Structure 1
Amino acid sequence: MFPEYRDLITELKTSDRHFLQVFNHHNELDQQIKNIEAHLEHRTHEEVEDLKKQKLRLKDELYTILRRTAAKQ
Structure 2
Amino acid sequence: MSHTPHDLPEEFPEFVEKMSALKVSDMHFAKLSQEYEELNQKVHLAETNIKPREELSEVDLRKRRSALKDEIYAYLKAN
Q: Same fold (TM over 0.5)?
A: yes
RMSD of aligned alpha carbons = 0.8
SS in 2 for 1:40: coil
Q: Which has the higher contact order (CA 8 A, sep 6+)?
A: 1
More helix by share: 1
Decide which structure has the larger Cα Rg and report it: 1
Unaligned stretches of 5+ in structure 2?
Answer: 1-10
Give the number of aligned pairs. Answer: 69
> Under a length normalisation based on structure 2, what TM-score does the superposition of the two structures give?
0.83
Q: Which amino acid aligns with 2:25?
A: S
Unaligned stretches of 5+ in structure 1?
Answer: none
Aligned residue for 1:67?
A: 77
1:15-68 CA distances to partner (integer Å, 9 max, x unpaired)?
111111110111111111111111111211110010000001110110011000
> Under a length normalisation based on structure 1, what TM-score does the superposition of the two structures give?
0.89
Q: Which amino acid aligns with 2:52?
A: H
Question: How much identity, in percent, do the aligned residues show?
Answer: 33
